[in-house]
Structure 1
Amino acid sequence: MAEAKQDRRDRGRGGGPPEFPELLQRAEALVPVLRERAGKAEELRRLPDETIEDLHRSGLFRILQPRRVGGSELPFRSIVELGSVISRGDGSTGWVLANLAAHHWLLGMWPKQAQDEIWGESPDNLIGSALIFPRGRATPAPGGYRLTGRWPFSSGVDAASWSLIGAIVHDQEAGTNEPRIFVLPASDFTIIDTWHVIGLAGTGSKDVAVDDVFVPEYRSVAVREITGGPNPGSGVNSSVLYQLPAISLFAFCIAGVSLGIAQGAIEYFTQTTKTRTSYYTGRNLADFVTLQIHLGEAGAVVDAARSVMLGDCDEATRIVEEGNVPSLEQRARYRRDGAYAATLCTKAVDVLFQATGGGAIYARNPLQRAFRDVHAANAHYVLNWDINGAMYGRVALGLSPDATI
């Protein structure tokens, strides 16, 4: 591996990569900072540079990166736990963190040559993504593929040195169409600023375009190769983390953001309701039974969502630890559960937004941002309940899923 650039991360207490307890402390310390910066992120329509630097220095970007290159290589559930903490401070920051941290995890499943090229240059290299496969077209070429397309929703791309880009490979000779993911340096794609939105506005999820670029074979994997079990990266990253079914479990990476947004909304509602009085009666709002019920409902559904997410993460990890791969039915359930958990979190925010009354619509009230952000998160393909509920239903009824999971 080429000599790496200086590590931008604060080391752990023992001098090595930070472990989960220390990363949790660092994440908690960032929550009030990110709350203060949330408005700035929306104005910039991307994360402020100081936020990107904080995420580097804390080590949070590298929680799922292999230890062989200096990453923390935490259990998969940690991306839900730590991503939700950051999202309590700001949903846009949590969204970018969840995506870019997950891409270190995915790269661990790539051929060693690709890993060494990217992490050898710098283990802090950030990797964006554009994974709406039908928006790209690739054709086989000697030694690799030629790739063309334009993709929306590339979250955090301004800070990324590389990007994972999905496309359908059309092989006319073989008569096949196969979804593959390609990893490209920033010099091979163009960023197009289309990000003028009302939710998760600080994520900078702009379009990217690629015009007939050659991608070598070692920088590509077929989607079917990362659905669980050994993969092209297993020779150097043999741990359970890198043999998990990436396509079905990715939903939990970003569902953790919805969880954190809802948890942050509950915190704010609880804190402010204790001291608020009714405009009309002068009574303390904390005495209103209806508000007590609404708060109880929001807390219950969020706790249920968290339990479902972490339970599935632990189950998948346990199955792979035992030398097996989650079945098609289990993988379909993970997609179902990720989407349903996000839907529950959205419901919790909706309950509190309505319970707050007219005060919730003021720009100074964090609940309006939580409302916008959690609905934007729920619009993602892997969190959309209709899509993923139907996918589970098809598999449960003995039909094939509509996509590779």
Structure 2
Amino acid sequence: MVMVARAKALIPRLRERAAKTEELRRLPTETERDLHEAGLFRIVQPKRVGGSELDYVALVDCADMLGLGDASVAWNFANLASHHWMLGMFDKQAQDEVWNRDVNALIASSFIFPAGRARKVEGGYRLSGSWPFSSGVASCEWNMLASVVSSDDEADGIEYRIFLIHKSDYVIADTWNAVGLRGTGSNDVEVRDAFVPTWMTVAVNDLGGGETPGSAVNPSALYTLPVFSLFPYVLSGVGLGNAQACLDDYVDIARHRASTYNRTKLGDMQSTQIKIAEASAKIDAARLIMRLSCIEAMADARRGHIPDMAAKTKLRRDGAFSVNLCTEAVSMLFAASGARGLFMSGVLQRQFRDGHAVNSHLAFNFDAAGTNFGRVALGLPSENLTL
């Protein structure tokens, strides 16, 4: 695939800039420029506006490749690229508002629904709230913010909706000083009573699979996928690439290094060989799970099949499980690297920190995903109201 090859070509540069990226706590300007020039941010953007409109699995494959260089870069790439995909499901008027100005415009997000409060007014909504973890927000012109919509009539129930707003309507708080994924600039944003027209919003119920408001102009199956069922796979490739990088670097070290205590070559030690085998098996299994989940979802969408709740909870289960496999592999390799792995000058410590930072995302919490899968399997209702 051309885009995967372009991502691969960036790996040496991303590795060279990794320390700078962590120091900045956001992507360097030159890295963002590289991603733009390679067309990577637009891999799942509709063809009608010049995007590549690749199959959904491209998000996993490209993040996997970029993660070999720097997980922070892969994380921001995957987040920001996926928002072009989601915008393709909004009303055409919202798409035109963004892409008629700039087809390369970057869009941040925070899909933490309880962080916001919206109320319906004539012509739209009034939105307020404070959202954490808006990755790459300093580079973005727009933001997709999730909120609960309140109603005076309790009989209306709870509505979950996503709001697309311009950067002039929110304030960024510089809060991102984290142990892992340090270069993602995942800062907080605050909105104070902003008006958002109805056509700049989309209901979560419209994103559960099948035709969306954007299908009228973007008829591809890509824009009929169930968004929040597939949510883990937006970012799962980051954990995958980071784990593969950790394995590759550990193998390279083991080939050339001798034990500090008895001068035995690490590569001659059976324990080293077993750790490499087990870690690589976990990573290979994770890659198969991630890619197959995305490929099967696209196949279902092409034949007009909307997954039932059991299938949706399985997607969430497998997304979390596969990333957990990657984190286990990284932890195993880091422990096997000994005291030398602790030095900040080495790459393994960053991969360890980044791997666990990826795994801390709620989408990869297997207890939550597994519990919900088990509930549905037992005939109980799903606890995830966005599926």
TM-score range, shorter chain: over 0.9
How many angstroms apart in 2 are the aligned matches of 1:191 and 1:402?
A: 32
- The residue number in structure 1 matching 2:370 is 389
Q: Which amino acid aligns with 1:353?
A: F
* 1:27-42 alignment, distance < 5 Å: 27-42=7-22
How many angstroms apart in 2 are the aligned matches of 1:77 and 1:175?
A: 37
Of 313, 320, 323, the match for 1:332: 313
Deviation at 1:65, TM superposition (A): 0.3
| Matched length | 385
- The residue number in structure 1 matching 2:27 is 47
Deviation at 1:74, TM superposition (A): 0.4
Of 321, 338, 347, the match for 2:328: 347
Confirm whether residue 184 of structure 1 aligns to residue 165 of structure 2: yes
How many angstroms apart in 2 are the aligned matches of 1:83 and 1:237?
A: 24
Q: Which amino acid aligns with 2:377?
A: A
Confirm whether residue 86 of structure 1 aligns to residue 72 of structure 2: no
Question: What SS does structure 1 have at the residue aligned with 2:337?
Answer: helix
Q: Which amino acid aligns with 1:128?
A: A
Deviations 1:276-314 (A, max 9, x none): 111111121110010000000000000000101111111
Deviations 1:319-377 (A, max 9, x none): 11112111111110000000000100000000100110111110011110111111111
Of 206, 221, 235, the match for 2:187: 206
- The residue number in structure 2 matching 1:300 is 281
- Give the structure-2-normalised TM-score: 0.98
How many angstroms apart in 2 are the aligned matches of 1:390 and 1:47?
A: 36
- The residue number in structure 1 matching 2:42 is 62
How many angstroms apart in 2 are the aligned matches of 1:374 and 1:68?
A: 36
Q: Which amino acid aligns with 2:196?
A: V
Of 95, 105, 127, the match for 1:147: 127
Q: List runs of 5+ in structure 1 lacking aligned partners.
A: 1-20
Of 111, 114, 122, the match for 1:134: 114
Question: What SS does structure 1 have at the residue aligned with 2:228?
Answer: helix
Q: Which amino acid aligns with 1:377?
A: V
Deviation at 1:124, TM superposition (A): 0.2
How many angstroms apart in 2 are the aligned matches of 1:101 and 1:383?
A: 20
Deviations 1:160-201 (A, max 9, x none): 100000000011135432110000011111100111110101
Confirm whether residue 363 of structure 1 aligns to residue 350 of structure 2: no
How many angstroms apart in 2 are the aligned matches of 1:106 and 1:54?
A: 23
Q: List runs of 5+ in structure 2 lacking aligned partners.
A: none
Q: Which amino acid aligns with 1:217?
A: T
How many angstroms apart in 2 are the aligned matches of 1:322 and 1:232?
A: 19
- Give the structure-1-normalised TM-score: 0.94
Deviation at 1:387, TM superposition (A): 1.1
- The residue number in structure 2 matching 1:255 is 236
How many angstroms apart in 1 are the aligned matches of 2:120 and 2:160?
A: 13
Q: Which amino acid aligns with 2:343?
A: Y
Deviations 1:196-243 (A, max 9, x none): 110101000000000000000001011111010001000001111110
Q: Which amino acid aligns with 1:193?
A: D
Deviations 1:254-297 (A, max 9, x none): 11100010011011111121111111111211100100000000
Q: Which amino acid aligns with 2:240?
A: L
CA RMSD across the alignment: 0.8
Q: Which amino acid aligns with 1:362?
A: F
